[in-house]
């Protein structure tokens, strides 16, 4: 579904991605692991069109989309749920979900998508008239994911969905991501909690200084002494 080839991204003199190459096949959960500053979030920003690569190619379904705009990528089925949730705190849960469907012109289809989110995340249905800023951290993360789902992604990119959440809530969020994937959505997951990510992923890529240094099936990465030492603990 997605192929990055020799991707470079620069922020001024800083080279954030250095020849990054990776693939995501339809139906997979692929985890991007690495320390802060490794280039994980920049990779998602480049794919979604938020930053323009200085070199390399991004190919989606066999068609080059390098440098495409964020709305064009959403229209192509690529949806980015950013780090930090970034919900609209003064709007209700329902209003946040409606904004996720800003490209959906059919009102009945938008309502069907919101109803599917409520089925998947019943806590959001219970809170539908509550302001987003009054939700718990875990509920806000669910809302951010739900808003992304309303856009109708074929590829859902999630940036640090477990950040700041208690361990039990992290487990619940990861279970939701696995359910989303089981229902047919491909997932590219950026996550510092390597243990949680590898529990649900099919494959993983370890990034360091903007390039892939290790990639393998998730179970192999979870058992790799280098990954254990760097990300999983002894």
Calpha distance 122→76 (Å, rounded):
28
pLDDT, tens digit (0-9, with 9 covering 90-100), for 199-229? 999 999 999 999 999 999 999 999 999 999 8
Question: How do the domains of the chain map onto residue ranges?
Answer: 27-50+73-232
Burial class (CB in 10 A: 0-12, 13-18, 19+), 12: exposed
Tokens describing residue 203: 């494959």
- Reply yes or no on whether the pLDDT at 22 is more than 50: yes
pTM of the model: 0.92
Q: What is the helix, strand, coil percentage profile of the chain, to 5?
A: 40, 25, 30
pLDDT score recorded for residue 122? 92
- Supply the DSSP symbol for 86: -
The pLDDT mean for the chain works out to 94
pLDDT in tens, 30-86: 999 998 889 999 999 999 999 999 999 999 999 999 999 999 999 999 999 998 789
The pLDDT, as a whole number, for residue 231 is 81
| pLDDT tens for each residue of 159-207 | 999 888 889 989 999 999 999 999 999 999 999 899 999 999 999 999 9
pLDDT digits (tens, 9 = 90+) for 145-158: 999 999 999 999 99
**How many Cβ atoms are within 10 Å of 135's Cβ, its own excluded?**
21
CATH number of 27-50+73-232: 3.40.50.300
pLDDT confidence of 234, banded at 50, 70, 90?
very low
Q: Name the band, by pLDDT with cuts 50, 70 and 90, for residue 233.
A: low
- Per residue in 101-132, pLDDT tens? 988 899 999 999 999 999 999 999 999 999 99
């Amino acid at each position: 579904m997605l192929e990055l080839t020799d991707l470079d991204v620069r922020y001024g003199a800083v080279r954030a991605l250095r020849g990054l190459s990776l693939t995501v096949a339809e139906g997979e959960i692929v985890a991007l692991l690495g320390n802060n500053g490794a280039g994980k979030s920049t990779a998602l920003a480049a794919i979604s069109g938020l930053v323009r690569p200085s070199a390399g190619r991004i190919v989606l379904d066999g068609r080059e989309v390098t440098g495409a705009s964020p709305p064009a990528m959403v229209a192509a089925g690529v949806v980015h749920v950013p780090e930090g949730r970034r919900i609209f705190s003064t709007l209700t849960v329902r209003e946040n979900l409606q904004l996720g469907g800003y490209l959906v012109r059919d009102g009945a289809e938008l309502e069907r998508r919101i109803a599917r989110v409520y089925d998947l995340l019943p806590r959001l249905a219970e809170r539908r008239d509550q302001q987003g800023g009054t939700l718990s951290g875990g509920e806000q993360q669910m809302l951010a994911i739900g808003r992304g789902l309303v856009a109708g992604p074929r590829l859902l990119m999630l940036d640090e969905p477990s950040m700041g959440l208690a361990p039990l809530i992290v487990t619940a969020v990861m279970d939701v991501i696995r359910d989303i994937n089981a229902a047919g959505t491909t997932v590219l997951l950026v996550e510092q909690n390597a243990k949680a990510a590898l529990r649900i992923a099919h494959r993983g890529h370890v990034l360091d200084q903007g390039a892939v240094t290790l990639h393998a099936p998730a179970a192999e990465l979870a058992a790799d002494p280098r990954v254990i030492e760097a990300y999983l603990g002894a």
